[in-house]
Every structure is written in C-alpha cells, then in structure tokens.
Amino acid sequence: MSDYLIGDVQGCFDSLQKLLKEIKFSTEKDHLFFLGDIVNRGNKSLDTLRFIKDLASNGKASMVLGNHDFHLLACSIGGKNPNKKDTFADVINAKDSDDLLDFLREQPLAIKHKDALIVHAGIPPKWDADMVLKRSGVVEKYLKSDNISSFLTSMYDDNPNYWNDDLNELDKCRYTINALMRMRFCKSNGELEFKHKMDYLQAPDGYKAWFAHKNRNLKDVDIFFGHWSTLSKINVKHIYPVDHGCIWGGSLSAIRLKDKKIFSVKC
C-alpha cells in the first residue's frame, strides 16, 4: 500500500485521471491525500469534486481545504459573489450540490499522517503540530455549524495579520484560515503578508517564505503543501511543495510518501 500526496487539481479532472494512471493508483492498495484547491480555475470542478468525494466516502482519499475550496463554500453558502475568474458554477448548479458542499464542510484544514503534516499553504513559524491541529479544529467546528453562513462571510479579511493569544475567537479563526490556506511570506513571529506572490527568494523587506525561518518549531517535521506553484525546485529539508502549476500550463504532481518520489503529468 502506498500513500500519495497530490497538489492543486483546481478542476483539471482529465489531468488528474492521467496522473492516477501514471502512479498506477489502486483503490485496493493505495490512499490519496489532496492538498487543497481541488476546484476552481479549471473547467471540470464538478467532475473533480464528485470523484474525490466518492473516493473519500470509500476510505480511499483524504483532503485538506484550500482557499479556492473555501471560496466555493463562501459563494454558495455565505452569500459572497463569485468573481469573473471563478469556474465552479457547475458545482453550485448541480443537482447534488448540497451533498458536495456538505462534503467540503466536513474537510479539515490540516492532517497529521505518519508523523507528516499536510496543509494547503503553510504553517506559522512558532506553531507546533498540536497548535496546528487545535486551531484548525476550531475552524472545522464552525464550518460544520448551523451558523456557517455568517462565519464564512466574516472570514474574508487580511486582518489580524498576526497571532495573539488575546485575540477573540473569530479573529483567531481568520488568522488560522489565512495562515493555513493563503500564506506565502511571513515574519518570524508569524505576521502575514499577502501582497507579494513572487519567488520565495524575492521576499518583501522584513519577511521570508514561511518555511525559511530558522526559528521554526516544525523544522524537523515533513510538511506537504500546495498553493505556491513556483516552488517545485526548492531544496529545503522536510519541505515538500506539491503545486506544480497544473492550471497554469505546468504539471500535476503526486509525491509517494514512503520514498518521496515525485510523479508528474504535463497539463
């Protein structure tokens, strides 16, 4: 049996099928972990979401929420208006839309598996594994609640861009979502920055890529993540970026957990 961690599919259903053939995926022997952003930007969000939901219901797949998955929830349940680039209307208008959205609502922001951590974007330098799972668990509680609509709309803000134990619970949730789903650059104290999306070596003044801080609590833990499509060639110990830019004409990739071998198909 092998565990495979798959980067941002973003509705590229055909590329996903090619990748599964490339890794010779077996529903009897293997398990897939999707690193978020399974929908949006590609032209088959509905097919992708249905396929992953079916695998998960049969115990063959797990996933963490990405910012595009969260955006789909906000637009369909939270009353937020989709933007011109969004391509998940097929999900919202599907006859099984409620079931598909309920499936997304049940997904975590972080998974710990065989001593590895799986998130969509990153982890603040000062957080340890227990903190990651605790804070994502609080967000997950709200996503499953009857008050999800107001919660989703209240999470769309860049502030607070820092962590403080004295923050109220909703502010803590907003920071958690922004860190685990959107972060690229931050300061060593976890202060977030969202304006820049350049190469990690071109960080804005005072900031570094979240995984480049020497004071990180989790520097000896394997971390798998997506979200940042320009990181395919970095060489940082225990750091495994798996978004290789499929939706931008790059590749869709999977990493086999046991030996860290990368499998890719051109998109």
- Specify the CATH number for the domain of residue 221: 3.60.21.10
Within a 13 Å sphere around the CA of 60, how many CA atoms are in the beta-carbon half? 13
Residue 161: Cβ-neighbour burial (10 angstroms; 0-12, 13-18, 19+): middle
Tokens 């502030």 found at: 159
Residues in the chain: 267
| Ordered DSSP codes for 67-117 | HHHHHHHHHHTS-PPPPTT---HHHHTSTTHHHHHHHHHT--SEEEETTEE
Tokens of 212: 């480049």
pLDDT of residue 70: 98
Q: What residues are paired with 113 via a beta bridge?
A: 116
Give the start-end residues of each E strand in the chain. Answer: 3-6, 31-34, 61-63, 110-113, 116-119, 185-186, 192-193, 208-209, 223-225, 239-241, 251-256, 262-266
Would you say residue 232 has pLDDT above 80?
Answer: no
Report the percentage of the chain scoring pLDDT > 70: 100
247-261 pLDDT, tens digit each: 999 999 999 999 999
Question: What's the mean pLDDT in 150-166?
Answer: 95
Q: In what order do the strands lie in the sheet with 251-256?
A: 61-63, 31-34, 3-6, 251-256, 262-266
Give the domain range for residue 245: 3-266
Query: What's the rounded Cα separation, in Å, for the pair 261 and 247?
Result: 22
Would you say residue 69 has pLDDT above 90?
Answer: yes
36: closest CA among 60, 69, 4?
A: 69
Confidence of residue 231 (pLDDT cuts 50, 70, 90): confident
Confidence of residue 201 (pLDDT cuts 50, 70, 90): confident
Q: How many domains does the chain have?
A: 1
